[in-house]
Structures are given as structure tokens and as C-alpha cells.
Structure 1
Amino acid sequence: MRFSALTTLVARQQRSKAVAAVQSVRFSHGLVVPYAHVAVTPFANGVPSEQVRELHPVEKKWDFWTSSDAFLGAKPSIGGLTQVPFGEVWVLENGSVLKEGSHFLLPFSKVRAVKNVHPISFGVVSPALKSADGVSVNAYAVVYIKVTDFAKSALYVDPESNNFDSERAAAKIVKRTLEQNVSSLQVGNAGTLSDASAASLAEKIESALKAKESEYGISVEGVEIRGAFPSHQNIPDKLRALDPPLLLEHQAGHNLAPDYWASVLTPAFFQKYKYGNRKEVVTPATVSLEWSIPSPPDYHHFNELPRQTGDPADVKKIAAAH
């Protein structure tokens, strides 16, 4: 693991702890089910060999991935005493830069972007293009940069797309350079790119980025060409599928209803209890020891009743045995 990736991971963990400590839960279903399913994804030649999940239509519009926090959907909120986590720099809309530590700010201040102190990486995949030998391929490059001027990077406006942030503009340069040079690559039917071709392409990308360092407020740490893969391998979708799926803003975790935990978390004096014959049995006795859900149960099946499974012809025999 590269040092930059490790430090970025530590910074994100520190940030998650700090945000949890100073911000309140926005929605009633903010309690997260302590469950995570992480599949083991095999890799071949630096890319996943299979697609781990289906993509949302919105996700298919993404043209690069990044380890940076600059493009987080939810920006940190500011009001009064504000704590900037370790490894981060917050750039406000007025151009002010908040470094690690405590700051007292007016409530109407807004964060434009969260920048990382440590080096970050981003990957760009070109659209399907014809190589010099007529093979349709997706070229894949990974770039390592470090933000040197936080305000300049966050407030940079791309003159073509009118989008903010120089990190996005840097990814755009990488994509354009790939598109301009794929037609000169010899990849063969298997999509194999020679070391000399990969080194030459990486040098061209690095040269194009270095020409924009002062304008973007970044420094280029390195460029890697992962390969030029045949388009039928669907590398762009496989890479995007490694990220967690998108959730709607008000969607409860794991498709739970917003009030799923209400019966558990509601204080006793707000509940009505029934006694005697009116009492509702929460966990009635089961007629079988056979379960139709896995053990241990996944998601929120902990309170589900077991269901009897077996041959319908033996139902009477099973019932008689109990």
C-alpha cells in the first residue's frame, strides 16, 4: 500500500470520528445497522476481473474516481466553534482556508471544498477508442498529486465546463491526453500494452499536468498506466462498481423503514402494554427447528420467525411428530 493511500485512509477515519462528535443526527433513522458485507473481488492486471454489482444510471456518468474528499456530496456544517479534523483543510466560499484545529466562525459561513493535506490519487478511464492495430480499448491511468494551494485549487473554475475545483480539471486533462494517444498504441488482440508504450504515455500525461501546476495549485507526484483493456471487458463499470452504491438522501440503511427502530428506542412510558389474553406474543413457539434464513442471520432478520421447510407430502407426518 502506498503511503499516500494509507494517510488518506487515516485522515478519513479521523474525520468520521470528529464529525460524529460535533454534529447531530439529521434524520430519525440515523441509527445504522451494524452490518457490512464486503465481497472478495479477484483482480487481474490491476483491475477487477468481475463486476461486483449493478450500477445506478447516475453512476455510469462518472468519468474518474478519486481518493480526495473534495467531491463529497455533503459538505461539513459550520456554526460557532468548529473543529477541522486531522489531515484536512476546509476552503470556504469566501476563499478563507481553515486548517486542522478549532475555529470560531459565523453560522452563515459555507464550505466550498474539503482538501487533503496528504497526497491523493485519482484514476481516469478513457472511452472506448481504436488502437493503432484496430482494437477497441479503454486506456486506464492512475495519477498521484498533492494540493499545494488549497484556495486556488478549490475555487478554480474550468473555463470550458464552468465547474469548480482544479482536481476535476486535472482529471479532464488526463482523459484528453489518453484520447489523443490511444490511436498510436499497439495493444494486440489480448489488449497487452508494452512497458515502453506505457512509460511514454505516462510521461505525456505528467508533462501535460506539470504545465498546469501553478494554475491548478497542485504538484504532480507520479503517473501510472494500468493498461489498455479491450472494451468488451467493461473495465469502467467494474471499477465504478467497487464503490458503495448510492443511497437516497432520506433512505434508511439496508432498506429499513424510517421508524424501524422506534419500538426499540422509544422510552417505556410512551408504550402501551397489554396483559392477559390481550397480550401479543412477540416470539411464539415454533413447530420446527428448520430455519429458512442463514445463520447467523444477515441484515435485520434477527427477529424473524423460522419457517418450516420440507416435502409437502410429509406435512402431516411432521405436524404429528410435534
Structure 2
Amino acid sequence: MNRTQLLACHDLIKPYIHKTAVLTSRLINAAIGAEVFFKCENFQRMGAYKMRGATHAILKLTPEAREKGVVTHSSGNFAQALSLSAQMLGVKAHIVMPTTAPEVKKIGVQEYGGSIYICEPTLEARNTMAREIQEKTGATFLHPSNDLDVILGQGTAALELLEEYPDLNAIFVPVGGGGLIAGTAFAAAAMGGNCRVIGTEPFEVDDAYRSLQSGKIESNLTTNTIADGLKTQLGSNTLPVILEYVNTIIRVEEEEIIAAMRLIWERMKIIVEPSSAVALAGLYRERSKFKDQKVGIIISGGNVDLGNLPF
């Protein structure tokens, strides 16, 4: 993937997405000791950056493939993104969701016209059900994070951020399946600056941290984290990008995630989901290393179950 492909992707999806705001907070800058620029993908259509990749992936399908629809498995944000993108483009969306998916995200999928299929909360169950739907309907399977067209679409958030602030020293992103960090890493490399891309992850689901060390896809034995969007593991397309472009993944405790989430809600007056707060938590934890630098944070989404807040 190169700069030309990234710019072409951005041009293709522009009519269907929002160019989201970049916000700052003097209080957070003072607490970190750096200039921090928040790329607010919580303001994106359907409330998360995943709208970008989902839209790009559907737009890249042939007319024949679009006729037969798309299928994915997702606990939330990609499920909503694919449903809304499909609705806008006149495509049928089949969404496999685990029993543990937040209610707010199931409601979102239904509102956007996606057909929900509930399965057990295991990767095997998700894959099996998605395959069955594929065989029955002829729909194209689009992986939430491991599809190259999805990854390229996700990179457009960082592209917009770097177009606005080309002198950033680093961009912090949360890591789940790796689609956002892979796309961000492509964008940072394509823009040709010296911007490092740094992953952040809960200790409770630190598979990407371990994958970076071992060079192979690691799994989590437990997924006991408030950051529900980060419970998935890396894929065959995301890991090589991370190994090539990313050399740091910072892990954070659950209390740090909640504190960062609360800080953003209280001080910036915006709604962010726990997975998004992981990036600020990581920067705060390692703030001494970024003193006096310019740092971007991609706020990945704002789809929160308001009946289940940690504060």
C-alpha cells in the first residue's frame, strides 16, 4: 500500500464519511507535558472510525458482489459501520454478533438495517456462522480488521490528522484486531514524515504486545477488560504491518482506562468509549517520554452503553 492508494481511497469514501474535528485540551496538555491533538472519530457517522474501512470495502466490490450482500462478525462498531455503509449503498448486510455484544451496539445495527445473527462469544462460533451465511446467500465476507480494503480505509483518519498537523512526533491508537493501527502506520509512512505510531492495549488483553515480541499471532486466555472493542486478536494482514512499522505497544491497567475516559468526558465534554480512552491512558502512563512533543490520539469511537458506565 502506498500514498497513491491511500489518497485514492480517501477520495472514494469522502462523500460518505465525515471529516472529523481535531480537538485539544489545555488541561490535558499540562497533565501530559506535551501538545495533544485528539482526532475525534467518535463524531464519525455511526460513532466510530470503522465507517471509513467498511465504506471503502463495499465500494471496492463488483456490482455483482454487491447484489449478493456482505457478511461480517463483530461485537459492535464494525457491525454498525457495515450496516450503515451497506444501507447507504443499497447492499444487504448480514451481521454475526456474540451474545456478549453491548445492547447499544445491537440496537445500532438494527437501526441501520443490518440483519443480526446471534452466536456464542468465541472466534470459532463467529467464523462458523459467518461461513454458513456466506454459503447460503453468496454474500462477500468482510473481516472487521484483517481485510486490506478495510485497513486502507481506516488509515484515512490518520491521513486527515497528518494533513492538518504534519509535524506530529507520534500518533497513539488503541489496538484490537489491528486494523486501525495498521492503517495508521500505512498513513504515517505514506505521508513521509517522522511520525511514530504507538499502540496501546489493556494488560487484560495484551495479545498485540506479545505478538510484537514473538513475531506471530498470540491469543488471549481471558478478555476481562472494560475496553470491549479490543478483545479481538491480530490477523494475517495486520500483524506484518505492525511488525514492519510499529515498535512500541504500551499496556495499561483497567483503572487507568477508566481514569482516562473520565478525564475526556469531564474536561473535553465529549463521549468516548472505553477502548478510545486506552490511547490517552497509554500516553499518560509513558508521558515522560513525550515531553514537549506534538502527539496525536485517534479517539476511535463513542458508542457507549450509558446504562453501564464505570463512573
TM-score range, shorter chain: under 0.3
Higher-strand-fraction structure: 1
* Bigger radius of gyration among the two: 1
Please give the TM-score of this superposition, normalised by the length of structure 2: 0.21
**Greater RCO, CA 8 A, separation 6+:** 2
Higher helix share: 2
TM-score if structure 1 supplies the norm length? 0.20
